[in-house]
Structures are given as C-alpha cells and as structure tokens.
Structure 1
Amino acid sequence: MLPSPKLPYPSAKLPPPTQIRWSSAAASPSVQRDCKVSRREISTSPLLLLVGSQTVTPLFPDLSKARADQISSDKDTSTSCRDKVPTEKAFLDISIDGEPTGKIVIGLYADEVPAGVARFVTLVTGAAGISYRRKEFVKIMPNYIQHGGIRSYGETGSFENLIGEWERSKEEKCTKNLAGKVGIVVIDPSRPPPKAKLVARNGKLEIDEEEVGVGPNGTEFVITTADSSELDESVLVVGEIVEGMNVVEKMRAVKTVKENTGSPYFRVAKLIGDKRAVVAERGFNRPYSKIIVSNCGLLE
C-alpha cells in the first residue's frame, strides 16, 4: 500500500472510501486498483484523488493531450505548406553594373496559385509584349530583395484575381514567405492611407479621397533570403528558388542607401502624409549598383 500523501492543511482529513457517493452511474469515474504512482505525481497533480490504494481518474478533460493534438495538427499544416511541388521552371539571368552575375532558376506552384503563376510566366516570357528584361531590382532588405516591376506599359492584366488568391492563401494560416521563396507584391504595407480633401462638384463641396503614392500593380516581386513573416500581409508566394541562391547572395551584398526613419523631420512628414516623405522612403535601401534582369524565360 502506498503511503498517504501530505495534505496542505494538517487538520484536513480524507473521508473513508465508504462515504464517497456519486450522483449517477454515468458520472462515476473509472477506478484503477493497485496503480503505482510516484511521489512527484502525487505532489504535482491536484486532479488526483487517492483513497487508500485506489486511484480515481480526474473529473476534468485531459487538457494536456488536447494541446498536444493541436500542436501536432499545426505542425502537419506547416509541413504541408513547405512541401508544395513546383510544376514548371522559370529563369532570371542577373547582371550587376553590366557584369553577368549568374542564373536564378525558380520552381513555380501552378497547381496551388494558378493566377499568380500565370502573371509571373507572362512577364518572364514577354507573352503580352512586356517583360522583366532590362528591368531593375529596386530594394535590398535584410530578409528579401525586391524587383521594381513594370510601370510604363499601362495595363498588365487582371489584378483582382491576384488579390483573391492571396486572400485564400492567408486562410491556410501558415508561414508562406520562407527563405528562398519568390512572391508577387499585391499590397504595399508602407503606402499611407488616402488623404481626405474638399473638392467642388456641380456647385457643391464634397469630400474626396486622394491616393498618396502609387500602389502595386501585380508586377513587382520579391526573393526572400530569410524567413520573412513581415511579407505575409503583402506578398503572394508563387514559387521557390531551386538553383542560384549564390547569385541571390551576391545581389544581397550590394551596398544600399541607408534608412533615415529615425529623423524627427521624416517622422512628422510621414505622420501628416507629406508626399516628400513617401518619395524619401521609397529611396531607402535602394542599391547603389544597377541590378537588372538581363534575360528571362521558361525552361523546358
């Protein structure tokens, strides 16, 4: 027989087994006889009731098991996000200040994000008369490199499809912008909200909203060099780097314009929506060297 556990109050006594009654058979807990219970389990488990050599199972649900099941489920979800299989490959030939640097090969997730992949393929092949060829990378951040996209050719295709696909991907609740991913920018988190102003229409004053800065048009893309959860709210992942991460590291090593967000003048201008602050912010982290896509397309 196990020794009786020490009670928190010396005067308290456990009732004898014959005095324990249950309101119904359904509510009666199962009883395990002659179970071996360590002193550590006795002292640390407030849900156990020991009566002589009998151990009564807890009346409360096994919360630890439920939590373990939830963690296992979350792990499975994360694994499924990492195990996406590329269905086709695109390439980007990179040059820095006119010197060839190497080739980046990207595996595209056409089965998971068909609209995003279709947009990217159109731009690397030039199928719509516009292409990433001779276009620059405009930002080098600690966790990613951003391409400037295409602005001078007007319409580049339906943007609503990209937004809808991005919203569906967010519902999966898993980190998408992992190291070595390629994604299309669908929302600019640094863009200030519209600025309200009074305008005269038909002899009446009305409040109108003036857009500050230029929003993304679905042609800018990023290459992540580290896990970048900050991009989950703005980027639709369309593929992964399968070859050429050494080229990406060479791009990342290029010197850039230092940020000046700590300046009180910049903070005030940003707060009041001054367009000059937006222009200055777009210049932060811009590479001093010219990094361009010298050639691009699909691989057979």
Structure 2
Amino acid sequence: MLQTPKSLQSYTNFLNPPHIQELPTSSSFPTTKQCCKFSRRELTIQSNSLLLLLFGSQSLNPFQMSNAQAEEQSWTDTKTKEEQVENLNTASSCTSKSLTKRAFLDISIDGQPVGRIIVGLYGNDAPVGVATFSDIVSGSAGISYRRKEFVKIMPSYVQHGGVRSYGVDAEMAKRTGITSTVENLVEEWEKMEEKCGAGTKNLAGSVSIVVRDPSKPPPKLKLVARKGKLEIDQEEVGTAPNGTEFVIANKDSPELDASALVVGKVLEGMEVVERIGQVQTVKENTTSPYFRVAKLIGDKRAVVAERGFNRPYSKVVVTNCGLLE
C-alpha cells in the first residue's frame, strides 16, 4: 500500500484545518453590541456637547490673545503720546524763548552806512552768552564791537571777527575776564545741545556766539630739547575761538549748531544782513589736494590760507553799537 507523502499531508491539513472549539460566552462578559448600544437621542446630545466644547476651546485662546494684544497696543499708544508731548514741550521751550534785552548794531560797507540791526537777546535761556554779548556791545567790559569788521560771509550766515586775541584788545579782555568765560560758554552750549536735542538751532535771523571750532586739527607733536633731554611736546595748530565772535544767520544754518551758541535773534534789519551777504568774497580752495594734505598734517600755511576764504573784499564794519532801553 502506497504511503501519502508528508508534503501532501500538510497540504491536506491546510485545506481542511482541524475543528476549533468555540469557547462558551459567559454572561458576565457583555458583548460589544451590548456595550455600545445608545439611542439616537443620546448620540445627538453627546455629539452636540462635544462640538460646543471643541468650538469653545478654539475660540477662547484667540479671544484672550486679542485682549492681551489690545492692552499692549493701548500701552504702546499711551507711551507714544507721552513721548510726543514731551518732545513738543522740549521743542517749544527751545523755539519759543523770551527776550530780556535789546541791542543795536550800525553797519557800514566801505564807509557807507547801510542801516541798523536790532537784536533781541535770550537772557533767561542763555545767561552766560547774553551777558558776554551785552558787555561787549555796551562797552562795559572795556572792549567793544565798535569799529570791528565782519571777517566771513557765507551763503547762509555772516560772521563778525569779534575782539582780537592779541594786542590792546586782548590785554583789556584779559583784565576784565571776558576771555575766561569761554569755558562757561562751551558748558552752556553743551547744556543747550542736551536740552534741545536734534533739530536746527541756528534758524534764519538767529544771532549766535562762536564758542568752539570743530574743524580745528589736533595738536601737533614735536621733539623739544629740555635740560639736555629730548621730550615730546604738543604744539597747538591754529587758535580756538575766544568767545567774542558772533554770527548772524540769514537762512537756516544747521552747520553752525556744532560751534555756535544762540543768544538772540534779529528783530529789525534783516535787509541789512542780506545786504552784507551780497558782498563779494574770496573764493574757497578747499577742494585742492595740496590744501587737504597741508590741513591734514597741520601746516600753518593751510591754516592762514583758510582764514582768507570767504573773506569780504569790501570793508564791512560795525560803526556803532550798544544796548537799547
């Protein structure tokens, strides 16, 4: 009798698997159908509740975020308004200054009178500068602007030479203490810069005292023999302003803000200032490469040449000056 191969037996078992006995279902274990049996009404109520919870959780956070953003925006707007009010107050205090004194300057060009300039002075805002200008204008300091010339005429302002830093005027200024107030003028200029901040201070019609020279080159180093030893010394190039030169702006002159302290404004006689501005002057030569190199290395010839730039060909003089009651 032929035996069935093992491979055929396994194939037969695969086609006819042995009978698996079903386990009895106990009544203590409910079927899936029994556990998940809900009515349509209950399903509808539960689904609606879930939807409400879902929508509520999604809409709550944006609502809270919108409140936070609104509070932050409100705080930012309030801060901005406070800064704007502060800036307006500062700007108004720098532009709307009270006049305490009046001075006059009689001007002549080549010996011909051209008119009078009346200047109002800000004694409360620039007390040191106004005191210096008033003392020189009135002559109470022993020196005066009388018979002194305008030395520079620019497109936007004219500059008076003030009191000379040498000779009799310098000796008199030293005795009366005028030259010792330069540091005080610089301090007052620094306070004004800090108070008013950005913005043009030397507006059209402003009268200012020149207190510093930002273009002045640094001291020049040189070797000096002292007591048989070589030492390094510093030589000043050019001269710093002595606190007596003043400028009158016929246009807004922001370039003066770095060097001039505003002490007043022209009340009458702007046509005289414009007449001075029309005088022919020596042309600048600052674009020359030779001048640039000489100025950079502190060559005295460049300093002397620069003093002649924009100098009027005509003689523009203050023939008389003083304070008005």
TMscore range, shorter length: 0.7 to 0.9
Is residue 217 from structure 1 mapped to residue 256 from structure 2 by the alignment?
no
Answer with 166-175 or 232-241: which moved more. Answer: 166-175
Q: Equivalent residue for 2:311?
A: 286
Which of 124, 127, 132 in structure 1 is aligned with 2:145? Answer: 132
User: What's 1:7 paired with?
Assistant: none
**Which TM-score applies when normalising by structure 2?**
0.74
Structure 1 portions without partners, runs of 5+: 1-14, 32-55
Matched, 1:88 2:113: no
Counterpart contact for 1:84–1:109, Cα < 8 Å:
yes
1:20 deviation in Å?
4.7
- Whether 1:250 and 2:272 are equivalent positions in the alignment is no
- When you count strand as a share of all residues, which structure comes out higher? 1
Are 1:18 and 2:54 matched, yes or no?
no
In structure 1, distance between residues paired with 2:229 and 2:296: 30
Q: C-alpha separation between the residues in 2 aligned to 1:278 and 1:223?
A: 23
Aligned residue in 2 for 1:192: 217
Q: Distance in 1 between matches of 2:207 and 2:56?
A: 67
- Aligned equivalents of 2:286 and 2:80: distance in 1? 42
Match of residue 43 from structure 2: none
In 1: Cα distance, 2:284 partner to 2:55 partner: 74
Please state if 1:259 is matched with 2:259: no
Q: Which has the higher helix share?
A: 2
TM-score by length of 1: 0.80
Task: Return the alpha-carbon distance in structure 2 between the equivalents of residues 299 and 231 of structure 1.
Answer: 27
Match of 1:108 in 2: 121
Which one-letter code corresponds to 1:205 in the other structure? Answer: L
- Determine if the alignment matches structure 1 residue 171 to structure 2 residue 203: no
Seq. identity, % = 60
CA distance in 1, matches of 2:95, 2:216: 30
Any conservation in 2 of the 1:132–1:150 contact (CA below 8 Å)? yes
Cα-to-partner distance string for 1:141-166 (whole Å, 9 max, x where unaligned): 11111001111322234222212211
Aligned partners of 1:128 and 1:235: how far apart in 2? 21
Contact 2:291 2:302 in 1 (8 A): yes
Does structure 2 retain, via aligned residues, the 8 Å contact 1:29–1:59? no
Structure-1 residue corresponding to 2:23? none
Which secondary structure does the structure 1 equivalent of 2:238 belong to? coil
Is the CA contact 2:217–2:296 (under 8 Å) kept in the aligned structure 1? no
Instruction: Report the counterpart of residue 202 of structure 1 in structure 2.
Output: 227
> Aligned pair count?
259
User: CA offsets per residue over residues 81-103 of structure 1, 9 Å max, x none?
Assistant: 11101111000000000000000
Q: Using a 3 Å threshold, how does the CA distance of structure 1 residues 281 and 19 change in structure 2: closer, same or farther?
A: same
- CA distance change for structure 1 residues 135 and 200 in 2, over 3 Å: closer, same or farther? same
Q: Give, as a single letter, the amino acid of the residue that structure 2 aligns with 1:164.
A: E
Q: State the AA in 2 paired with 1:113.
A: A
**Residue number in structure 1 paired with 2:6:** none
Give the match's secondary structure for 2:148. coil
Q: Distance in 1 between matches of 2:111 and 2:58?
A: 91
Structure 1's 208 and 61: CA in aligned 2 closer, same or farther, altered over 3 A? farther
Unaligned runs of 5+ in 2: 1-53
TM-superposed CA distance for 1:190, in Å, is 2.5
RMSD of aligned Cα (Å): 2.3
1:117 equivalent to 2:130? Answer yes
Indicate the structure (1 or 2) with the bigger Cα radius of gyration: 2
* CA–CA distance in structure 1, aligned partners of residues 80 and 154 of structure 2: 37
Between 155-164 and 106-115, the greater mean CA deviation after superposition:
155-164
Alpha-carbon distance change, 210 to 228 in structure 1, aligned in 2, over 3 angstroms: same
Structure 1 counterpart of 2:292, which letter? R
